[in-house]
């Protein structure tokens, strides 16, 4: 018998609220299954289990707010339930393909909690193909809780049929006398997210001796290659420019692996896999940096697809617990803001953050002549307890070199 | 361009609807059609492409990358899609 506990989904989380159980006692679970939805200051997170076995007891009730480490459920493990692989740091990791198992539809609808009157799930089983979790924006989720509405009952019009705030408002208007929610704090809460960011960044600046490097990268070849590649594609299949430096940085980490991993308890644990935390700004303020898994091993198309999915879920739907807890390095991209450089603050326990500025046209010297070239500033902030400027420089130079041969990425 | 022959008002309505999906909190009726939607509604490059893709899907058309800039204001996008 083992405990399934409230996970720590980042250095800035110390408690979470159980919003929904997607399993019930007696259900079989396998590593990577999403078993619960937990609300944090970053919104609702689909929480995975990293164990194979059978659910024995659900200890936590829907609506309860519990500190990290609290027992949520007990699991009877399979004898050799070690499909969970441990990387060098002993961190449990699962393949990026892990998700909701196909047959979780009925058990999802059976996850109603008689313990609280707040949620009144309809009794009929969901169709097997239905997603186990209702997609909804954090604001919609919060409003639905305020109005006492069940998200699953609201038709969604957002991306991937996600329930949007206006869908909830519309549903609220047609539903008379809503009963108030359980009173549990729910939804993306900008103030509490700000406090979380403040705590993590203050800790970073206090504990991590940052060093900063910067270099200018000629993006002519990358842009030419990308234009040619995108010319033959439809708008939905085109690659965004950021996927080139994103893949390149993941490959460059193979050469300087001491930038990829975690510094915990005075020891650096190098990660075997490259999970890039993508810094994503949220509408209404706030920042979240969920992981795009195994970037170094994926094709550009796959990276693009993953990025699309990740950003869309970060903004309108739901992230998974592994995405919140396992980025091994962060990328902060200025996009097309026009800002040329960013020197990021490392998100502990990571040891590095890469910053990319807007690509701008600048004079560039080529064989003694000045030419106008598209130029991108790439920066590295890294932890001096783990690496030095010399190694950081090798990383940035490798990144630059890889971007000169975009066809090989 | 495709010829499901939408008139200029229908196109504006589609543009606003898709912008509304990206920026649900925005008051699109108050948005000045000549202003850059990216600046006015704080839309980043990722969401800007998502907006263009959604409009293309609705209108069953496609837009080459170099024409993305035509979507920077409602007015420009309306004109561009009417061509």
**All structural domains of chain A:** 2-133 (2.40.50.100), 191-408 (3.30.559.10)
Section A113-120 average pLDDT: 36
Q: Which chain B residues contact residue A166 at CB under 8 A? A: 20, 24
B36 interface with A at CB cutoff 8 Å: no
**What is the CATH classification number for the domain harbouring B78?**
1.10.1200.10
Cα gap A108→A230, rounded to integer Å: 40
Query: Which range (A2-16, A103-117, A194-208, A371-385) has the least confidence?
Result: A103-117
Instruction: Assign A128 a pLDDT band (cuts: 50, 70, 90).
Output: very low
Which of A190, A233, A235, A334 to mutate to probe the B interface, most B CBs <10 Å? A235
Give the residue on A whose Cα is nearest the Cα of B21.
A158
A236-271 burial, b at 16+ Cβ within 10 Å, e below that, comes to eebbbbbbbbbbbbbbbbeebbbbbbbbeeeebbbb
Phi, psi of B59 (to 5 degrees): -90, 5
Those residues with Cβ within 8 angstroms of residue A326's Cβ, 6 or more apart along the chain or in another chain: A91, A93, A275, A291, A293
Alpha helices in A104-239 (DSSP H): 105-109, 138-147, 165-174, 190-207, 220-231
**pLDDT 10s digits, A224-271:** 999 999 999 999 899 999 999 999 999 999 999 999 999 999 999 999
DSSP string, A288-316: E-PEETTGGGS-HHHHHHHHHHHHHHHHH
Q: Which chain B residues contact residue A315 at CB under 8 A? A: 47
Kindly determine whether residue B45 and residue A157, on different chains, have CB atoms separated by under 8 Å: no
Q: Would residue B60 count as lying in a domain? A: yes
Kindly determine whether residue B46 and residue A236, on different chains, have CB atoms separated by under 8 Å: no
- State the pLDDT at residue A388: 97
Q: Which chain B residues contact residue A311 at CB under 8 A? A: 46
Instruction: Assign A398 a pLDDT band (cuts: 50, 70, 90).
Output: very high
B24 interface with A at CB cutoff 8 Å: yes
User: How many domains in chain B?
Assistant: 1
Task: Give the pair of three-digit tokens for residue A303.
Answer: 């990276």
Kindly determine whether residue B52 and residue A235, on different chains, have CB atoms separated by under 8 Å: yes
A240 interface with B at CB cutoff 8 Å: yes
- Residue A291 burial (10 A CB sphere; 0-12, 13-18, 19+): buried
Greatest CA separation for chain B: 32
Listed by number, the residues of chain A in 323-362 with a beta carbon closer than 8 Å to a beta carbon of chain B are: 335-337
**pLDDT 10s digits, A25-62:** 999 999 989 999 998 877 788 899 988 999 999 999 99
- State the pLDDT at residue A79: 58
Kindly determine whether residue B24 and residue A236, on different chains, have CB atoms separated by under 8 Å: no
Q: Considering chain A, what is the average pLDDT of its residues?
A: 81
Cis peptide bond upstream of A349, omega within 30: yes
Do the Cβ atoms of A171 and A149 come closer than 8 Å? yes
**pLDDT 10s digits, B51-63:** 999 999 999 999 9
Candidate from A137, A234, A240 with C-beta closest to B62: A234
Q: Which chain B residues contact residue A284 at CB under 8 A? A: 25
Min Cα–Cα distance to chain A from B5, Å: 21
Helix axes A243-255 and A300-316, enclosed angle (nearest 10): 110
Q: Which chain A residues contact residue B23 at CB under 8 A? A: 283
In the beta sheet, which residues pair with residue A278?
A331
Kindly determine whether residue B24 and residue A165, on different chains, have CB atoms separated by under 8 Å: yes
- State the pLDDT at residue A221: 97
Alpha helices in A136-189 (DSSP H): 138-147, 165-174
Do the Cβ atoms of A147 and A175 come closer than 8 Å? yes
Task: Please check the confidence at residue A282 and state whether its pLDDT lies above 50.
Answer: yes
Q: Would residue B1 count as lying in a domain? A: no
Range of the domain at B41: 8-82
Kindly determine whether residue A164 and residue B49, on different chains, have CB atoms separated by under 8 Å: no
Q: Would residue B3 count as lying in a domain? A: no
Task: Give the pair of three-digit tokens for residue B74.
Answer: 């409602």
Cα gap A294→B31, rounded to integer Å: 41
Cα gap A163→A166, rounded to integer Å: 8
Task: Please check the confidence at residue A304 and state whether its pLDDT lies above 80.
Answer: yes
Query: Which range (A70-74, A90-94, A277-281, B72-76) has the least confidence?
Result: A90-94
Those residues with Cβ within 8 angstroms of residue B69's Cβ, 6 or more apart along the chain or in another chain: none
Section A192-198 average pLDDT: 86
Do the Cβ atoms of B59 and B4 come closer than 8 Å? yes
A77 interface with B at CB cutoff 8 Å: no
Candidate from B24, B49, B52 with C-beta closest to A240: B49
Section A317-327 average pLDDT: 85
Q: Which residue has the tokens 């405990």?
A: A3
Q: What is the DSSP letter of A365?
A: E
Section A80-104 average pLDDT: 38
Q: Would residue B20 count as lying in a domain? A: yes
Q: What is the pTM of this model?
A: 0.73
Kindly determine whether residue B50 and residue A284, on different chains, have CB atoms separated by under 8 Å: no
């Amino acid at each position: 018998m083992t405990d399934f506990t409230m996970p720590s989904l980042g250095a800035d989380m110390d408690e979470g609220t159980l919003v929904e159980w997607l399993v019930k006692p007696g259900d079989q679970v396998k590593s990577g299954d999403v078993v619960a939805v937990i609300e944090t200051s970053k919104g609702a997170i689909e929480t995975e289990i990293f164990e194979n076995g059978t659910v024995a007891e659900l200890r936590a009730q829907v609506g309860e707010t519990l500190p990290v480490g609290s027992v949520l459920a007990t699991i009877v493990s399979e004898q050799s339930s070690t499909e969970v692989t441990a990387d060098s740091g002993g961190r449990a990791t699962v393949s990026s393909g892990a998700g909701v198992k196909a047959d979780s539809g009925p058990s999802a609808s059976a996850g109603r909690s008689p313990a609280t009157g707040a949620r009144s799930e309809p009794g009929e089983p969901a169709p097997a193909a239905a997603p186990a979790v209702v997609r909804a924006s954090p604001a919609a989720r919060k409003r639905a809780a305020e109005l006492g509405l069940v998200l699953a009952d609201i038709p969604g019009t957002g991306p991937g049929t996600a329930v949007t705030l206006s869908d909830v408002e519309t549903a609220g208007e047609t539903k008379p006398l809503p009963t108030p929610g359980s009173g549990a704090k729910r939804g993306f809460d900008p103030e509490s997210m700000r406090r979380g960011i403040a705590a993590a960044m203050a800790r970073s600046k206090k504990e991590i001796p940052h060093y900063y490097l910067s270099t200018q990268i000629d993006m002519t070849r990358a842009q030419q290659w990308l234009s040619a590649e995108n010319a033959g594609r439809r708008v939905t299949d085109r690659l965004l420019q950021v996927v080139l430096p994103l893949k390149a940085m993941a490959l460059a980490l193979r050469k300087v692996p001491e930038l990829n991993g975690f510094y915990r308890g005075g020891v650096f644990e190098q990660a075997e896999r490259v999970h890039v935390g993508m810094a994503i700004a949220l509408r209404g303020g706030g920042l979240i940096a969920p992981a795009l898994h195994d970037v170094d091993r994926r094709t550009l198309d796959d990276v693009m697809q993953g990025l699309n999915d990740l950003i869309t879920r970060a903004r309108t739907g739901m992230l998974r617990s592994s995405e919140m807890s396992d980025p091994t390095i962060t990328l902060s991209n200025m996009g097309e803001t026009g800002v040329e450089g960013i020197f990021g603050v490392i998100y502990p326990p990571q040891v590095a953050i890469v910053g990319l500025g807007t690509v701008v046209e600048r004079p560039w010297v080529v064989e003694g002549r000045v030419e106008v070239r598209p130029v991108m500033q790439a920066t590295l902030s890294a932890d001096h307890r783990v690496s030095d400027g010399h190694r950081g420089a090798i990383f940035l130079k490798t990144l630059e070199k890889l971007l000169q041969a975009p066809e090989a990425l | 361009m495709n010829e499901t022959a939408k008139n200029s008002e229908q196109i504006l309505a589609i543009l606003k609807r898709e912008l509304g999906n990206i920026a649900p909190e925005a008051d699109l009726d108050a948005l000045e059609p000549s202003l850059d939607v990216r600046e006015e509604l704080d839309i980043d490059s990722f969401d800007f492409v998502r907006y263009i893709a959604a409009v293309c899907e609705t209108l069953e058309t496609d837009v080459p990358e170099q024409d993305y800039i035509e979507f920077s204001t409602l007015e420009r996008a309306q004109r561009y899609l009417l061509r």
